[in-house]
Amino acid sequence: MSDPVLASFARFTASAARIDIPDTAMHAAKRCVLDYMGATLPGGAIAPASLMKVAFSDMLGRGSARLYPGGETTDPRTASLINGAASHTIEFDDIYRDGIYHPGVPVISAALAIAEARGVSGETFLRGVISGYEVSNRIAETVNPAHYAFWHTTGTVGTFGAAAAAATILGLNEEQCLHALANAGTLAAGLQQAFRGDAMAKPMHGGHAADTGLMCSLTASAGVTGIPDMLEGERGFGQAMCGGPDWSNAAKTLGDDYTIQRITVKNHAACGHAHAAIDGALHLQNEHGFNATEVARIDAGTYGPAVEIVGAQEVSTAFEAKFSLPYCVAVTLLDGSCRTKAFTDERRADPAIHSLAKRVFVSKDDACDAAFPKRRSANVRVTLTDGRELDFYSPTRKGDPDSPLSDSELSEKYCELAIDVIGSERTEALERSIWSLENLPNITNLYPMIREAAE
């Protein structure tokens, strides 16, 4: 009888605290942490995270894990839940393209919370992050795109990632890791209906995954068991959530090839399904020099899920705007970018954006659809009022592994997001700490000024 699929993941999870990990993977992990902080600091200051702090106010001050940006202390599960939601709120968190998945949200939220609670080193924390990414990225890639028809991968597969990250940091043995991952599978949740309308449920998926995965590892450390064949069993995760995928290669390159080195860093503060079209429209504007008033019509041909999720022309809230390719393309052509300021109440009130958005039409392009999810592409045609038709094919998105943001560009993005929340001094101090995480003896010193501000 062959080993359960989760056995290979459990072996890696248990060994990740001590194996040789390439410097390139460690550097990639630090990039992910910096990008995570860029998304979490502003996300933690608004709903739903701000409301969750009220809901769980009786848990504040009861532990040594922190909430961001304020630095309030709490227990690790509450921290992972609230920070997880915060990190997914402004739609600027990282992506594993091939898995249709935001790994940083559940993985880093759980890893940071338990690392702070246990006072482990920065290197141990980074190893936990890598463990969580490598396990969950491979599961996400195996189950998708079928899984994505109904399920939100960040809420479902993210639970495995959070469990793996926490298990590595906690130093669980192989058997305990197996049980933690198995129970993560049965407790995973997150339906796509949650982001087909204006609500706070989508970021809650990330928080739930972080909290649940952490809980699975904590209970496994105390001896709680799970079903080892949770992935491939006849009533298991794979059969129930994506019709029975082929698991034979899921863990094949685990420990040799590090997927964390192929993470997408978002360059626009919107749903990733809109990014290729945004890039294409901006390229045409830069190349031909037209302004928004000269645009008669824009046609964006892209892959099926993008049409379904970001095809709406009319929006009334910030959430709807971030999930509207027409709005995002329109504001980009007017402002030259699609960052967080594009979604403020004041900016969304501009009738010029909505007028142009109504001239942006989204449709399925068969070639783009066939290339999904390995390639996130769009064919963009801009028709000008003088009759000219300008065409551009975006084969990828700025920030994807084949067109990555440099460390300098990532730093720029992080600073843009963090400074308005915590000020330039704290922003710079936190960034310095992140780039030298492997040398930090205790993760609780990652950014002590946050703690001081809260006290």
pLDDT digits (tens, 9 = 90+) for 97-132: 999 999 999 999 999 999 999 999 999 999 999 999
Q: Where residue 61 falls among pLDDT bands split at 50, 70, 90?
A: very high
- pLDDT for residue 453: 39
Give mean pLDDT, residues 72-85: 97
CA 347/CA 356 separation, integer angstroms:
14
What phi, psi does 298 have (nearest 5°)? Answer: -130, 130
Give mean pLDDT, residues 56-81: 96
pTM: 0.95
Out of 3.40.50.10420, 1.10.10.10, 1.10.4100.10, 1.20.1250.20, select the CATH number for domain 5-266+414-454.
1.10.4100.10
pLDDT digits (tens, 9 = 90+) for 257-306: 999 999 999 999 999 999 999 999 999 999 999 999 999 999 999 999 99
Is the confidence at residue 455, as pLDDT, over 80?
no
Is the confidence at residue 454, as pLDDT, over 80?
no
- pLDDT for residue 186: 98
- pLDDT for residue 448: 58
Give mean pLDDT, residues 23-31: 98
CATH 3.30.1330.120 in the chain, residue ranges: 272-394
CATH 1.10.4100.10 in the chain, residue ranges: 5-266+414-454
pLDDT above 90 coverage of the chain, percent: 97
Is the confidence at residue 1, as pLDDT, over 80?
no
Q: Is 303 exposed, middle or buried (0-12, 13-18, 19+ CB in 10 A)?
A: buried
Q: What CATH number was assigned to the domain covering residues 272-394?
A: 3.30.1330.120
Is the confidence at residue 450, as pLDDT, over 80?
no
pLDDT digits (tens, 9 = 90+) for 152-208: 999 999 999 999 999 999 999 999 999 999 999 999 999 999 998 889 999 999 999
In the sheet with 378-384, reading across from the earlier edge strand, the strands are 360-364, 295-302, 378-384, 389-394
- pLDDT for residue 2: 78
The chain-wide mean pLDDT, for the chain, equals: 96
CA 80/CA 74 separation, integer angstroms:
10
- pLDDT for residue 451: 40
pLDDT digits (tens, 9 = 90+) for 206-228: 999 999 999 999 999 999 999 99
- pLDDT for residue 452: 43
